[in-house]
Protein backbone atom coordinates (compact mmCIF):
# COMPACT_ATOMS: atom_id res chain seq x y z
CA UNK A 1 0.00 0.00 0.00
CA UNK A 2 1.32 3.44 -0.96
CA UNK A 3 1.03 6.16 1.67
CA UNK A 4 1.94 8.94 -0.74
CA UNK A 5 -0.13 12.07 -0.18
CA UNK A 6 -1.69 10.88 3.06
CA UNK A 7 -1.76 12.92 6.25
CA UNK A 8 0.30 11.43 9.08
CA UNK A 9 -1.24 11.72 12.54
CA UNK A 10 1.47 11.63 15.18
CA UNK A 11 -0.08 11.02 18.57
CA UNK A 12 1.70 11.06 21.90
CA UNK A 13 1.98 12.64 25.31
CA UNK A 14 4.97 14.77 24.19
CA UNK A 15 5.98 15.37 27.78
CA UNK A 16 8.14 17.02 26.61
CA UNK A 17 8.48 16.94 22.83
CA UNK A 18 12.10 16.11 21.95
CA UNK A 19 14.38 15.94 18.94
CA UNK A 20 13.66 12.28 18.26
CA UNK A 21 9.96 13.10 17.85
CA UNK A 22 10.89 15.69 15.25
CA UNK A 23 13.23 13.23 13.51
CA UNK A 24 10.53 10.55 13.36
CA UNK A 25 8.00 12.99 11.93
CA UNK A 26 10.46 14.33 9.34
CA UNK A 27 11.54 10.83 8.32
CA UNK A 28 7.91 9.68 7.94
CA UNK A 29 7.08 12.78 5.89
CA UNK A 30 9.96 12.19 3.50
CA UNK A 31 10.15 8.39 3.26
CA UNK A 32 6.46 7.86 2.66
CA UNK A 33 5.86 11.14 0.79
CA UNK A 34 3.13 12.25 3.16
CA UNK A 35 1.37 15.52 2.48
CA UNK A 36 1.98 16.64 6.08
CA UNK A 37 2.31 15.45 9.66
CA UNK A 38 -0.10 16.61 12.35
CA UNK A 39 1.14 16.30 15.94
CA UNK A 40 -1.70 15.35 18.33
CA UNK A 41 -0.78 15.83 22.00
CA UNK A 42 -2.92 13.65 24.27
CA UNK A 43 -5.20 15.55 26.62
CA UNK A 44 -5.57 12.80 29.22
CA UNK A 45 -3.19 9.98 28.23
CA UNK A 46 -4.80 6.71 29.34
CA UNK A 47 -1.56 4.79 29.92
CA UNK A 48 0.73 7.36 31.47
CA UNK A 49 1.07 9.06 34.83
CA UNK A 50 1.81 12.74 34.40
CA UNK A 51 4.20 14.82 36.56
CA UNK A 52 2.54 17.34 38.83
CA UNK A 53 2.46 20.92 37.60
CA UNK A 54 2.58 20.11 33.87
CA UNK A 55 -0.78 20.76 32.24
CA UNK A 56 -2.08 19.58 28.90
CA UNK A 57 -1.88 23.22 27.78
CA UNK A 58 1.83 23.24 28.65
CA UNK A 59 2.41 20.18 26.49
CA UNK A 60 0.34 21.58 23.62
CA UNK A 61 2.16 24.92 23.72
CA UNK A 62 5.57 23.26 23.68
CA UNK A 63 4.63 21.25 20.60
CA UNK A 64 3.08 24.27 18.89
CA UNK A 65 6.13 26.44 19.52
CA UNK A 66 8.47 23.76 18.18
CA UNK A 67 6.62 22.82 14.99
CA UNK A 68 4.78 25.93 13.82
CA UNK A 69 7.73 27.08 11.68
CA UNK A 70 8.55 23.60 10.32
CA UNK A 71 7.45 22.94 6.74
CA UNK A 72 4.93 20.12 6.56
CA UNK A 73 4.17 20.09 10.31
CA UNK A 74 1.18 21.31 12.29
CA UNK A 75 -0.46 20.58 15.65
CA UNK A 76 -4.06 19.71 16.58
CA UNK A 77 -5.99 20.47 19.75
CA UNK A 78 -8.52 17.67 19.19
CA UNK A 79 -7.43 15.62 22.22
CA UNK A 80 -6.53 18.64 24.34
CA UNK A 81 -10.08 19.97 24.03
CA UNK A 82 -11.89 16.63 24.30
CA UNK A 83 -13.28 15.65 27.69
CA UNK A 84 -12.22 12.32 29.13
CA UNK A 85 -9.33 10.03 28.21
CA UNK A 86 -7.64 10.51 24.83
CA UNK A 87 -8.41 7.32 22.95
CA UNK A 88 -6.69 6.95 19.59
CA UNK A 89 -9.65 5.22 17.96
CA UNK A 90 -11.89 8.18 18.82
CA UNK A 91 -9.42 10.61 17.27
CA UNK A 92 -9.11 8.61 14.07
CA UNK A 93 -12.88 8.35 13.72
CA UNK A 94 -13.26 12.08 14.30
CA UNK A 95 -10.61 13.07 11.75
CA UNK A 96 -10.92 10.43 9.03
CA UNK A 97 -13.59 12.26 7.03
CA UNK A 98 -11.69 15.54 7.25
CA UNK A 99 -8.89 14.23 5.03
CA UNK A 100 -10.20 12.58 1.85
CA UNK A 101 -6.59 12.06 0.77
CA UNK A 102 -6.36 9.48 3.56
CA UNK A 103 -4.64 9.35 6.94
CA UNK A 104 -2.11 7.12 8.66
CA UNK A 105 -0.92 6.94 12.26
CA UNK A 106 2.69 7.38 13.39
CA UNK A 107 3.76 5.62 16.58
CA UNK A 108 6.76 4.05 18.28
CA UNK A 109 7.13 0.29 17.77
CA UNK A 110 7.14 -0.26 21.53
CA UNK A 111 3.79 1.46 21.94
CA UNK A 112 2.13 -0.37 19.06
CA UNK A 113 3.32 -3.67 20.47
CA UNK A 114 0.98 -2.97 23.42
CA UNK A 115 -2.05 -2.69 21.12
CA UNK A 116 -4.02 -5.22 23.17
CA UNK A 117 -4.28 -2.59 25.94
CA UNK A 118 -5.70 0.06 23.57
CA UNK A 119 -9.40 0.79 23.23
CA UNK A 120 -11.05 -1.25 20.44
CA UNK A 121 -7.70 -2.62 19.34
CA UNK A 122 -8.92 -4.74 16.42
CA UNK A 123 -11.00 -1.91 14.97
CA UNK A 124 -8.08 0.46 15.41
CA UNK A 125 -5.64 -1.79 13.55
CA UNK A 126 -8.10 -2.13 10.69
CA UNK A 127 -8.89 1.59 10.50
CA UNK A 128 -5.66 3.09 9.12
CA UNK A 129 -2.12 2.18 8.09
CA UNK A 130 0.51 2.51 10.81
CA UNK A 131 3.99 3.99 10.40
CA UNK A 132 6.22 2.67 13.18
CA UNK A 133 9.47 4.10 14.52
CA UNK A 134 12.04 1.46 15.54
CA UNK A 135 12.79 1.15 19.24
CA UNK A 136 15.51 -0.81 21.08
CA UNK A 137 14.47 -4.32 22.00
CA UNK A 138 11.46 -4.41 19.68
CA UNK A 139 12.07 -6.74 16.69
CA UNK A 140 10.18 -5.80 13.54
CA UNK A 141 9.39 -9.48 13.11
CA UNK A 142 6.83 -9.06 15.92
CA UNK A 143 4.66 -7.10 13.50
CA UNK A 144 4.35 -10.07 11.16
CA UNK A 145 2.50 -12.01 13.87
CA UNK A 146 -1.19 -11.76 14.89
CA UNK A 147 -2.89 -9.37 15.26
CA UNK A 148 -0.52 -7.26 13.17
CA UNK A 149 -0.57 -9.64 10.20
CA UNK A 150 -4.05 -8.27 9.44
CA UNK A 151 -2.92 -4.65 9.65
CA UNK A 152 -1.01 -2.34 7.32
CA UNK A 153 2.33 -1.79 9.08
CA UNK A 154 5.08 0.39 7.59
CA UNK A 155 8.40 0.54 9.51
CA UNK A 156 10.58 3.60 9.13
CA UNK A 157 14.04 3.02 7.70
CA UNK A 158 16.03 4.81 10.39
CA UNK A 159 18.20 4.08 13.46
CA UNK A 160 16.43 2.91 16.60
CA UNK A 161 15.07 5.73 18.71
CA UNK A 162 16.75 5.56 22.12
CA UNK A 163 15.64 8.88 23.62
CA UNK A 164 12.69 9.18 25.97
CA UNK A 165 10.75 11.99 27.57
CA UNK A 166 11.01 10.11 30.87
CA UNK A 167 14.80 10.38 30.88
CA UNK A 168 14.63 14.08 29.98
CA UNK A 169 12.25 14.82 32.85
CA UNK A 170 14.63 13.08 35.22
CA UNK A 171 17.53 15.14 33.89
CA UNK A 172 15.62 18.36 34.54
CA UNK A 173 14.73 17.19 38.04
CA UNK A 174 18.43 16.54 38.69
CA UNK A 175 19.32 20.02 37.47
CA UNK A 176 20.90 18.91 34.19
CA UNK A 177 20.45 20.83 30.95
CA UNK A 178 18.54 19.16 28.12
CA UNK A 179 19.10 21.78 25.43
CA UNK A 180 20.84 19.34 23.09
CA UNK A 181 17.91 16.90 23.23
CA UNK A 182 14.92 19.18 22.64
CA UNK A 183 14.04 22.01 20.25
CA UNK A 184 15.16 25.42 21.49
CA UNK A 185 11.54 26.53 21.92
CA UNK A 186 10.83 23.58 24.22
CA UNK A 187 13.93 24.17 26.33
CA UNK A 188 13.00 27.84 26.74
CA UNK A 189 9.42 26.99 27.73
CA UNK A 190 10.53 24.47 30.35
CA UNK A 191 12.89 26.99 31.92
CA UNK A 192 10.40 29.87 31.78
CA UNK A 193 7.62 27.88 33.42
CA UNK A 194 9.76 25.81 35.78
CA UNK A 195 8.44 22.50 34.51
CA UNK A 196 9.47 19.02 35.68
CA UNK A 197 10.95 20.14 38.98
CA UNK A 198 8.29 18.13 40.80
CA UNK A 199 8.05 14.69 39.19
CA UNK A 200 5.59 13.05 41.53
CA UNK A 201 3.01 11.45 39.21
CA UNK A 202 -0.68 12.09 39.12
CA UNK A 203 -3.04 9.18 38.58
CA UNK A 204 -3.71 8.03 35.02
CA UNK A 205 -6.33 5.83 33.47
CA UNK A 206 -5.82 2.18 32.64
CA UNK A 207 -6.49 1.77 28.89
CA UNK A 208 -5.72 3.70 25.69
- Lowest average pLDDT, out of 5-14, 90-99, 153-162, 194-203, goes to 194-203
pLDDT of res. 204: 43
pLDDT of res. 206: 36
Q: Do 40 and 9 meet the contact criterion of CB atoms below 8 Å apart?
A: yes
Domain ranges for the chain: 7-162
Percent of the chain with pLDDT over 90: 89
Arithmetic mean of pLDDT over the chain: 93
pLDDT of res. 23: 98
Is residue 106 predicted with pLDDT exceeding 70?
yes
Task: Give the angle subtended at the CA of 141 by the CAs of 136 and 144, to the nearest 5°.
Answer: 135
If DSSP states are collapsed to H, E and C, what string results for the chain? CCCCCCEEEEEECCCCCCHHHHHHHHHHHHHCCCCEEEEEECCCCCCCCCECCCCHHHHHHHHHHHHCCCCCEEECCHHHHCCCCCCHHHHHHHHHHHCCCCEEEEEEHHHHCCHHHCCCHHHHHHHCCEEEECCCCCCHHHHHCCCHHHCCEEECCCCCCCCCHHHHHHHHHCCCCCCCCCCHHHHHHHHHHCCCCCCCECCCCCCC
Mean pLDDT over 94-120 rounds to: 96
**132 Rama sector, left if φ>0, alpha if ψ -120 to 50, beta otherwise:** beta
Sorting pLDDT into bands at 50, 70 and 90, what band is 143?
A: very high
Nearest Cα residue to 37 out of 52, 22, 16: 22
Mean pLDDT over 82-98 rounds to: 96
CATH class label, 7-162: alpha beta
59-88 confidence digits (pLDDT tens): 999 999 999 989 999 999 999 999 999 999
pLDDT of res. 202: 47
pLDDT of res. 52: 66
pLDDT of res. 200: 55
CB atoms within 10 A of CB 185: 18
Q: Do 89 and 119 meet the contact criterion of CB atoms below 8 Å apart?
A: yes
Amino acid sequence: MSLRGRVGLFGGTFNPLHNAHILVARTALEQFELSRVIFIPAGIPPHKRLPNGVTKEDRYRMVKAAVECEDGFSVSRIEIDREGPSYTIDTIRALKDDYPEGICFIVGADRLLEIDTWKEAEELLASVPFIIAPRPGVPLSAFREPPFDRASIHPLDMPEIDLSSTSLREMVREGEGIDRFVPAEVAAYIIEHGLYRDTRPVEARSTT
